[in-house]
Chain A
Amino acid sequence: MASEVVDATAAKPRGGRFCTVCNDRRPALKRPKTLEQICKECFYAVFEDEIHRVIVDNHLFKPGERIAIGASGGKDSTVLAYVLSELNIRHGYGLDLFLLSIDEGITGYRDDSLETVKRNEIQYGLPLKVVSYKELYGWTMDEIVKLIGLKNNCTFCGVFRRQALDRGAALLKVDKLVTGHNADDIAETVLLNILRGDIARLSRCTSITTGEDGPIPRCKPFKYTYEKEIVMYAYFKRLDYFSTECIYSPNAYRGFAREFIKDLERIRPRAILDIIKSGEDFRISTSTKMPEQGNCERCGYISSQKWCKACVLLEGLNRGLPKLGIGRTRGLNNESNKDMKETNGTKGLQSKQCGTLDF
Chain B
Amino acid sequence: MSCNSGTCESGCYREEYSGDDVRHNRPLVTGNSQESNGVSSRGGYSNSHGLCIKCKVNETIASTHQSVAAGGGDSIRFCADCFRSNLFGKFRFAVTSNAMISPSDNVLVAFSGGPGSRVALQFVHEMQHKSQKNFDASRDRSLPVFGVGVAYIDESIIFPIPSNDFDSGLDEMKLIVSSLAPPAKQFFVVPTESIYSPDCAAGRDQLTKLASAVNDVTGKEDLLEHLRMLSLQKIATENGYAKIVLGTCTSRIACHVLEATIKGQGFSLSADIQYVDARWEIPVMLPLRDCLSEELNTLCSLDSLKTIEVFQQPRSGINGLIASFVKLLQHENPSRESTIVRTAGKLTPFCFNRIPEVGHDNGHLASQRRQKKYNLKPNESLPPESFCIICNSPLKKSGNTIFNDLDDGETRAAAACSSCQYQILPRDLSSLEYFYSLLPQSMCARARDSSISHELLRDQIQDCLLSDSNDGT
Please give the residue numbers on chain A whose beta carbons come within 8 Å of chain B beta carbons, in ascending order: 1-3, 5-6, 8, 72, 74, 76, 149-155, 179-182, 184-185, 188, 190-199, 202, 245-246, 249-256, 258-260, 263-264, 267-268, 270-271, 273-275, 277-285, 288, 326-328
Pairs across A and B, CB under 8 Å, 23 listed = A2-B316, A5-B218, A150-B9, A151-B12, A155-B15, A179-B1, A180-B1, A181-B1, A188-B2, A194-B340, A195-B336, A195-B343, A197-B339, A245-B6, A249-B5, A249-B6, A250-B3, A250-B11, A267-B321, A278-B267, A282-B269, A283-B380, A285-B348
Q: How far is the CB of A84 from chain B (nearest CB, A)?
A: 16
Asked if B180 lies at the interface with its beta carbon under 8 angstroms from chain A, I say: no
Quick check: B261 and A278 within 8 Å, CB to CB?
Answer: yes
Q: Is the CB of A267 within 8 A of B317?
A: yes
Question: Which one of A180, A250, A260 contacts B10 once the chains associate, using CB atoms below 8 Å?
Answer: A250
Min CB gap B430→A, angstroms: 16
What distance in Å separates the Cβ of A323 from its nearest Cβ neighbour in chain B? 9
Q: Total number of A-B contacts with CB less than 8 angstroms?
A: 190
Residues of A within 8 A of B317 (CB): 2-3, 5, 267
| A-B contact sample (11 more), CB < 8 A, given A278-B261, A278-B262 | A76-B1, A151-B15, A153-B12, A197-B342, A253-B13, A258-B5, A267-B318, A273-B264, A274-B263, A284-B346, A288-B346
Are A328's CB and B10's CB within 8 A? no
Contact of A277 among B10, B266, B339, B347 (CB under 8 A): B266
Q: Is residue B260 contacting chain A, with contact meaning CB distance below 8 A? A: yes
A47 and B342 alpha carbons, distance in the complex (Å) = 39
- Please determine whether B5 and A277 come into contact, CB atoms closer than 8 angstroms: no
Closest to A256 in B: B329
In angstroms, Cα B451 to Cα A52, docked, is 40
Binary contact track B1-34/A, C-beta < 8 Å → 1, others 0? 1111111111111111111100000000000000
Contact of B266 among A5, A154, A281 (CB under 8 A): A281
| Set of chain B residues within 8 Å of A245, measured between Cβ atoms | 4, 6
* Chain B residue with the shortest CB-CB distance to A274: B264
B108 to chain A: which residues have CB within 8 Å?
Answer: none
Interface residues on chain B, number (Cβ under 8 Å): 61
- Find out whether the CB atom of A282 lies under 8 angstroms from the CB atom of B267: yes
Which B-chain residue is minimally distant from A323 (CB atoms)? B15
Chain A residues within an 8 Å CB radius of B6:
245, 249-251
Cα distance, A82 to B43, chains bound together (Å): 50
Contacts of A268 in B (CB 8 A): 218, 318
Chain B nearest Cβ from A9, distance in angstroms: 11
Interface string of B306-324 (1 = CB under 8 A from A): 0000000000111011000
Q: B348 contacts which chain A residues (CB < 8 A)?
A: 283-285
Query: In the assembled complex, which residues on chain A have CB atoms less than 8 Å from the CB atom of B280?
Result: none
Residue B441 lies at the interface, judged by CB distance under 8 Å to chain A: no
A188 to B3, CA, bound (A): 11
- Closest residue to A244 on the B side, CB-wise? B4
Q: Are A326 and B15 in contact (CB under 8 A)?
A: yes
Q: In the complex, which residues of chain B have a beta carbon less than 8 angstroms from the beta carbon of A251?
A: 5-10
